[in-house]
A and B are shown apart, each in its own frame.
Chain A
Amino acid sequence: MFEFINTLLIGITSGSIYSLMAIAIVLVWRSTRVVNFAAGGVALASTFVGATILESTGSFWIALPIGMLAGAALSSFIEYFFLRPLLKRSGEKTQEIFLPIIATLGILGVIKAVLHFIYGDKIGVISPPLSDKGFIVSGESIALSPLRLMILGVVLALMITLTLIFQRTNLGLSLRAASFAPEISRLSGIRVDAIRTLGWAISGAAGATAGILQTTNGAGSVTPEAFEFSLLLVFGFVAAVIGGIESLVGAVIGGVTLGIILAIILMYVGGSLVFFAAFIILILVLLLRPNGIIGVKGGRRA
């Protein structure tokens, strides 16, 4: 029982980081109908920015927001200079998703190469700001450490902020309207192009947070070729798809579910099956619900 609860705690923590990545992917999908693999590159680059800031200031709490800003800036840069002209040209044909995917893969490759060139073999260090030693409960150390608590807190705070922005502010209303019905939104006076760029910016900030938290939760350092970031991207995407790719709530449910199940498999079945399990979970969910847990049947929009 004790072990099981520990496994759950580990799963929830990593799952909450996948959720952030899933949110980054969902936000871009909703605003531009693009599966954005460049999100992995944005997360990676902002983690390096965060590591650089951390190195010079020594404060995690300065490094995190600046890393988020960097992620937002890079992500909106990508939207403005690459995806917007690309989608304008393809005439917003919604069924064509292969080429934009490939374009974002290319951008991911460029970002990695540039980082590699700048940083060479140096690694970006994001050492945990708090202790990762578990709390002691009735004489035994549990998996919940101050660090894990902080990660959960940051993710939760970010989700609450996002929910408030989306549900309570005019900006959030514009973001939702522009993603559901771009044409009606334009006719209502919403500057949809600018709102899309903003959606990418928020996505970039969420991805940056995911990258920084993943690094400090894991190895504590990052390289341009870090396998951890490929995994973060893949699991984030899988979580987004499980959740129905359209829904922020779905992204969170998908991420946490994936995190918990993978932690259980890692603990009780064997580490080498974790990746295959992610595939099986996805297949099972999609066979039962082809549009994800919170998916809308049949893509209503034009």
Chain B
Amino acid sequence: MLRIKNLVVDHGAIRALHGVSISIEKGQLAAVIGANGAGKTTLLRTLSGLNKATDGSAAWGEINILHSKPESLVRYGISHVSEGKSVIPELTVSENLELGALWRRNRKESEKSKKDVVDLFPRLGERLSQRADSLSGGERQMLAIGRSMMAKPQLLLLDEPSLGLAPLVVEQIFQSIRDLTTALGLTVVLVEQNAMGALKIADIGIVLNLGSIAATGSAAALRDDPAVRAAYLGF
């Protein structure tokens, strides 16, 4: 399980997270919602080792997350898909996928994982030898998620997978995330602007406001909470 206690993160002189405590059980899909600048992305980047924490602690099972580098955390089953369709446009689809499993140094395993990803997103299978910059926005997001699945993660950190996608595509992506979580028993932290869509597929929800937790609870409860509805769901 993921235990975050009193996490404080600074960007230079600006404090982005003011002592955030969150706890997510294994196999849960947690949606982190909130306005722009609430600290959602900072939270994810700190969990994957890209940002340094000023204070507090975060542990995934027995592993202390803070003070580790991202490339080491991947080896402990923590995988982060960063914001904005994080694929490498100069590489082919196939290479983008292989990249995710390179650290395992096992070609056979890597090929097998690639097959699993292609089963999950058949559209990628048709485009394996194309350059990633020829893909549509939705396909790129699939590729980004697919690449992180190549690492066989147990904890998946997703940063705004719906960003810039058409509503129909967003629905597909969200459905795939839900399916993956259930089928593989993943633990997922999903950061989203699209609060309604995220809360629909999530087990629990966490509302961040200006670097602090404003509300937390089961996703269903948050969806029905009038205060949350008014502030973040827009109705």
CB within 8 Å of B: which residues of A? 170, 173-174, 176-177, 180-181, 183-192, 300
Contact = CB atoms under 8 A, between A and B. Distances in A.
A197 to B, nearest CB: 14
Interface in B78-116: 79-82, 86-91, 95, 98-100, 102-103, 105
23 contacts: A170-B102, A170-B105, A173-B95, A173-B99, A174-B102, A177-B95, A183-B50, A183-B82, A184-B88, A185-B88, A186-B69, A186-B71, A187-B48, A187-B71, A187-B74, A187-B81, A187-B82, A187-B86, A187-B148, A188-B102, A188-B103, A189-B102, A190-B99
A5 B102 CA distance: 48
A189 B69 contact: no
A177 B71 contact: no
Contacts of B98: 170, 173
A48 B95 CA distance: 40
A265 to B, nearest CB: 36
Contacts of A192: 71
Given A190-B71, A191-B71, A192-B71, A185 B90 contact: no
A173 B102 CA distance: 9
Interface in B22-75: 48, 50, 69-71, 74-75
A190 B151 CA distance: 11
Contacts of A184: 82, 86-88
Contacts of A177: 88, 91, 95, 99
Closest 5 A/B residue pairs (Cβ)? A189-B103, A189-B74, A186-B70, A181-B88, A188-B99
Chain B CB within 10 A, most for which of A174, A180, A185, A187 = A187
Nearest to B49: A186
A149 to B, nearest CB: 35
Chain B CB within 10 A, most for which of A181, A189, A192 = A189
Nearest to A296: B90
Contacts of B88: 177, 180-181, 184-185
Contacts of A188: 74, 99-100, 102-103, 147-148, 151
Contact of B90 (A176, A186, A189, A190): A176
B116 to A, nearest CB: 17
Contacts of B90: 176, 180
B139 to A, nearest CB: 16
A189 B82 contact: no
Nearest to A177: B99
A13 B50 CA distance: 47
Given A177-B99, A183-B50, A189 B91 contact: no
A190 B105 CA distance: 11
Contacts of B75: 189
